[in-house]
Each structure stands twice: as C-alpha cells, then as structure tokens.
A = this chain, B = another copy of it.
C-alpha cells in the first residue's frame, strides 16, 4: 500500500506482481471523471491522512490475501491535486486463476473506498467546490469561530 503525490504508472507497478505461477492479472484504475452528480468537474483534490491510510490499506490487502488464494497484490492511491483523466487509484492482483483475481481486486477497491482516511474535494467548472460524500459537514459559507473550548 502506497500513498503518493506523483503520477501512478500501472505498467511499472505490475512488474512487482509477476509470478511464474500467475495465470491471471486483474487491475482496477480509478480515473478522474469530468462530471459527478450532474456537475462538471474541473479538477480534484485528494486529502489523505497517510499514517492511517497506509496502515488500513495494508490491513485491507492482508484481509484479501486471507480471503482469496492470491499470489501478489498491491494498491497505490494518489494525494494532492489531480486533473481530468488522471489515475487516482490503482489496484493490481495476480493469482493462478481468474476467479479469485477478479473477486480480490473488487474487494480491495471497495474496502479502500470506505475504510481509508481519504477525502476528495471536487472543484467544479462553475467555480465552487465540495467535499464529496459530505453534504452536511462542509458548508460553503462556513465561518471559523475561534476556539473557545474548555
């Protein structure tokens, strides 16, 4: 599991999954789309809390290796500013047969999306921006009250 602010090169990452016993390689790439929920997206900003994201990602991968008879697995997730078409996340799996490679790849991306502390802010063509999944926690006209906690 790796979090990186640099471009993801799946073909390079795939090399680490090569195995003479591998009959199947399944990969997933999440790309930045030009729209979401009917709004035109200009670019995307990923915020990642890396220490916990890496630890959770490793747990997801370990869980997949336990559930399915896999040979090699890896997952890389971007942080920072991404443009339309950029690869935000890559998951690669090799195994002897295709059934477990498909199942595990799907399992990993599903888990990564709900378990890792990663947030994306969509910047729209129309000018505003929003944290995805979080309609009620980031108001556009929010204020910054001074801490008055006791």
- What residues of chain B lie closer than 8 Å to A29, measured between beta carbons? 24-26
**Digit string of A85-117 for contact with B (CB within 8 Å is 1, else 0)?**
100000000101010011001100100000000
B22 touching A31 by the CB < 8 A rule?
Answer: yes
CA distance A18 to B84 in the complex (A): 11
Give this chain's copy count.
2
Return 25 A-B CB contacts under 8 Å, by A number. Answer: A10-B11, A11-B11, A20-B33, A20-B34, A20-B84, A21-B35, A22-B31, A23-B31, A23-B32, A24-B29, A24-B31, A25-B28, A26-B26, A26-B27, A26-B28, A26-B29, A26-B105, A28-B101, A28-B102, A30-B98, A33-B96, A98-B106, A98-B109, A102-B102, A102-B105
